[in-house]
Amino acid sequence: MTDHAAETRLVGLFNSIGTDFDALRPSLWGPAGQALVDELDIRPGERILDICSGTGASALPAARATGPAGTVVAVDFAAELLDIASTNAADEGLEIDCVVADVTGLKAGTPPCATPFDVVACSFGVFFLPNMDDAVRNVLSLLRPGGRMGASIWHADSLREFSEIYRASVAEVAGETSHQGPRSGSRMPISHIDTEESVSQWFTTLGAQKVDTSVYRLRIECTPDFAWKMVVGTGMRGALTPLDDEQIARVRQVFLERLALEGPAEINCDTLIAVATV
């Protein structure tokens, strides 16, 4: 699949799962997004670029942190997700500027990046970017000297058992499909940056002067309801796209039965956070 075809597929996927994606915000995206913003130590009045923004997991806490004197520009290629982010911000009385755009096409000196940013935040998004190295190198160029980029990434140990059971369930019903989430078993970009050492080395090779890393421990009870929300509200849903309703219902049944028999009591959602200073 070409980069363009893969991106088109991702746009379609995330535009189709907006409500299900946002249903995970209180328990997953929100806490992890707050942890990312905490590590970035955003100060009042700073200019924030939030990329791969989704429904506002890190854009919303960034807006709280920078306050009315600051600016938050939230960029995502999925208009459906940004519509929800805008509503979420309005519900909290926060202001974020939502821009539907391809992150890889952002250019310094042109809107919405006409002025350098103090901070770039990216919550669970860098590993979806085509040509990840080039894309993030370009994003770093949008920062002022001394600015910082924070990224949250699934830790190497997170989701493994859960994802293995999901993959086996899909395979039992429909065979292998082309995409089953960030832990699909193939050598995806995330596998190059999912430890503190590897993500630090990666940012350094892209030009960062300093990289600070931490792990945010997040475990969520593996109830049938939440387990299925994790499937339909994340990139794992991509494996269901080619299936009909009957097959999807069967995958759900097999998956939940397998989880009950051999699954974890808690889903490991541990998040690696890296803050790179340029």
- 184 or 246, which is more confident: 246
pLDDT band at 14; cut points 50, 70, 90: low
Which of the listed ranges 6-20, 169-183, 185-199, 253-267 does the model predict with the highest average pLDDT? 253-267
Query: Is residue 235 a contact partner of residue 181, using CB atoms and an 8 Å limit?
Result: yes
pLDDT at 64 over 50: yes
Q: Provide the CATH topology of domain 3-156+186-221+268-277.
A: Rossmann fold (3.40.50)
CA–CA distance from 165 to each of 15, 45, 158, 231, 252 (Å)?
26, 45, 13, 11, 11
Average pLDDT estimate for 94-106: 96
Domain segments of the chain: what residues? Answer: 3-156+186-221+268-277
Question: Residue 203 belongs to what H/E stretch?
Answer: helix 196-205
DSSP 195: S
112 backbone dihedrals φ, ψ, rounded to 5°: -90, 20
Q: Is the dihedral of CA 123, 252, 262, 170 positive or negative?
A: negative
pLDDT in tens, 148-203: 999 999 999 999 999 999 999 999 998 865 454 443 444 468 989 999 999 999 99
pLDDT in tens, 116-155: 999 999 999 999 898 899 999 999 999 999 999 999 999 9
Query: Is residue 98 a contact partner of residue 126, using CB atoms and an 8 Å limit?
Result: no
Strand order in the sheet with 210-216: 97-100, 71-76, 47-51, 117-123, 143-154, 271-277, 210-216
Instruction: For residue 47, give both structure tokens.
Output: 């200019």
The CA distance from 151 to 194, in Å, is 11
63 backbone dihedrals φ, ψ, rounded to 5°: -65, -35
Looking up tokens 């990224």 gives 151
Q: Name which of 125, 140, 142 is nearest 59 in CA terms.
A: 125
Q: Name which of 47, 59, 41 is nearest 124 in CA terms.
A: 59
Instruction: For residue 274, give both structure tokens.
Output: 């890296």
Average pLDDT estimate for 33-49: 98
pLDDT at 87 over 90: yes
